């Protein structure tokens, strides 16, 4: 007959010490041999080594989890800081654009007023020149009339 020795897994939350080695006999005959004390000692030594390895592995995974959590917290804090900086930059930029826009509007308005005044001045001067030109034409016409009368008298 054959002796099958299997390790019973109790689950992650149960104590590893509560795990037991179970013997399952493939035959119910009385000739089935049990494991020798030397073999049991070897299995117990292996079990202790596995438990030690498992504890070390779990400790390392916990340490890694803690490091990842602290890295995540640091990363989140840095992203929050960057978000605040971007918001601050955006607010400053918007304020500067608003200020520039107001300055441009004021400059355009003052330029418009100045140009209107200058155009009005040029318009008034042109009107005066037209009147002066009309007077010159009238005087010239009168002079031509006087000249033509003097020629006629001669």
pLDDT for position 12 = 44
Strand locations in the chain, DSSP E?
A: 3-7, 21-25
Task: Find tokens 């007023």 and name the residue.
Answer: 113
Q: Which two tokens stand for residue 118?
A: 């200058």
pLDDT for position 92 = 96
pLDDT for position 133 = 95
Contacts of 42 (CB under 8 A, 6+ apart): none
Distance between CA atoms of residues 24 and 10, nearest Å:
17
- Quote the pTM value: 0.42
- The total of other beta-carbon atoms located within 10 Å of residue 25's CB is 13
Q: Has residue 27 got a pLDDT over 90?
A: no
pLDDT for position 120 = 96
pLDDT for position 34 = 57
What are 33-74's pLDDT values in tens digits? 556 888 888 889 999 999 999 999 999 999 999 999 999 999
Q: Please compute the mean of the pLDDT values over residues 116-135 and round it to a whole number.
A: 96
What are 72-118's pLDDT values in tens digits? 999 999 999 999 999 999 999 999 999 999 999 999 999 999 999 99
Strand locations in 62-120, DSSP E?
A: none
Contacts of 120 (CB under 8 A, 6+ apart): none
């Amino acid at each position: 007959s054959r002796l099958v020795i299997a390790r019973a897994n109790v689950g992650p939350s149960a104590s590893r010490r509560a795990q037991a080695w179970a013997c399952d006999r493939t035959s119910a005959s009385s000739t089935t041999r049990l494991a020798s004390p030397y073999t049991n000692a070897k299995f117990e030594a292996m079990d202790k080594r596995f438990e030690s390895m498992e504890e070390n592995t779990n400790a390392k995974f916990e340490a890694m989890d803690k490091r990842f959590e602290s890295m995540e917290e640091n990363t989140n804090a840095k992203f929050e800081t960057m978000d605040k900086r971007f918001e601050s930059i955006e607010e400053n930029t918007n304020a500067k654009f608003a200020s520039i826009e107001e300055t441009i509007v004021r400059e355009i308005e003052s330029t418009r007023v100045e140009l209107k005044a200058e155009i009005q001045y040029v318009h008034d001067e042109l009107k005066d020149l037209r009147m002066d030109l009309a007077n010159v034409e009238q005087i010239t016409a009168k002079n031509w009339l006087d000249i033509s009368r003097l020629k006629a008298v001669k």
